[in-house]
Amino acid sequence: MPAPARDNVLTPSQLNTLARNLLEDAFPVVLVEGELGNLSRPASGHLYFTLKDARAQVRCALFKPKSQWLRFQPRDGLRVLARGRLTLYEARGDYQLILDSLEEAGEGALRRAFDELKARLQAEGLFDEGRKRPLPAYARRIGIITSPSGAAVRDVLSVLARRFPLVEADVLPVPVQGDGAAAQVRAMLERAGASGRYDVLVLARGGGSLEDLWAFNDEALARAIAASPVPVVSAIGHETDFTLADFAADLRAPTPSVAAELLVPSAIDVATRVRGLHQRLGVLQLQGMRERMQRTDRAALRLQVVAPQARLHALGERQQQALRRLHAAWQAREAAAHARLRHAGAVLRATRPERRLAQLRERLDRLAPRMQAAVARRLQADALRLRGVARSLEAVSPLATVARGYAILRHADGRVVRSTGDVAAGDRLSARVADGALRLRVESDEG
């Protein structure tokens, strides 16, 4: 056997590098569903585990920080869906998956998502009993939001026709399963509520798995149910099935058939109640007629006793007497007023006020010259006293002293110089004389 060429001989690290490159090129991104096993989370924060099925397993790694953003708690035995790239750890030659994301798979993931969303909406108060509205006692028109080809709509229509044929029921067709079903159910619910046509709306669907019923676990649909202007009844699945629509609705019915029974009364029960009310109305009318007849008889007896005609005659007599007294009193009052008026006229004629005014004018004419003379004398006396006071003021006035040749010395600040001690050499003074003021400077303060 010839010896191999040195160019074809590989070291383990070279072999592992080639294998890693081949794996990464052949499998850039893969999705693998399997069961978690050998789960390990060291202090570094990375997550290491194996994905396995009944016949094989593969090593996986989810590095920090991606492992911190998981929406569930990983544990051994949990079925998950992993997304990542296939590679080979060259140091040990281990074949493994380096993951970009990890999520729960199948029914378990849906159940956890349902529980988390339910808890959040319940904490907001969306499911509170206090905000739920009562259903109408007698609904005239019902809107059924459901699939037109399903068994649920047949059950609802059959029960409504059997129990109360007078009710109007409109089937509002929507898909109840699959992509886009939740949005179409919500849109139909909002249109039906805004139309003002219906007294109550029913969401109906037959039974199925959690995945089949998932359209009715939509958050936007639950909020639309809570905000609906008319009451909403949820009839989704069987009695053991629960959706978010059940909790948000004003009433949850175990099945569509039960929903129909709860919405309308039985025609037989209604007819029985109407007959009972009719009989009761007849009895009440008869009792009322008897009571009114008795009251009429008692009123007739009282009428005979009180004799209203005699009382009316007596009251008429009293009225006539009162009218006569009123007329006499009015005549007497009018005569007294005329007498007072005549007396006032006589007094006015006797006093003759125009003559009194003439006398007062004559007296005023006599007193006017005397008053003018008195005022003139008073003014003359006041003028004499004023001239005396003026002479007295002039005698004591410093200006008069200045006019006789004296002067008044003042400092610049206005203080009067009274002696030589009040000034010093160099001081600036002003001298007040008879016809003005002089500016002076002190040369010496010798006495």
Query: pLDDT digit of tens for each residue in the chain (447 aa)?
Result: 555 555 678 888 888 888 888 887 888 888 888 899 999 999 888 999 999 988 899 999 999 888 888 877 888 888 888 889 998 888 888 889 999 888 877 665 677 778 888 889 989 999 898 889 988 888 899 999 999 988 888 989 998 888 888 889 999 999 998 888 999 999 999 999 999 999 999 999 988 777 778 889 899 999 999 999 999 999 888 877 788 888 999 999 988 988 888 888 876 777 677 788 888 888 888 888 888 888 888 888 887 777 777 778 888 888 888 899 999 999 999 989 998 888 888 877 777 777 777 778 888 888 888 888 888 888 888 888 888 887 777 766 676 666 666 778 888 887 887 787 778 887 888 888 777 888 888 887 665
Q: At what angle do helices 107-123 and 219-227 cross, to 10 degrees?
A: 40
Q: What are 90's two structure tokens?
A: 């060259």
In terms of C-beta density within 10 A (0-12 exposed, 13-18 middle, 19 or more buried), how is residue 82 classed?
Answer: buried
d(Cα 255, Cα 155) in Å, to the nearest integer?
A: 9
Kind of pairing between the strands at 30-40 and 79-89: antiparallel
Sheet harboring 408-411: ordered strands across? 408-411, 428-433, 436-441
d(Cα 280, Cα 272) in Å, to the nearest integer?
A: 12
Distances in whole angstroms, Cα of residue 272 to Cα of each of 82, 266, 268: 65, 10, 6
d(Cα 216, Cα 181) in Å, to the nearest integer?
A: 9
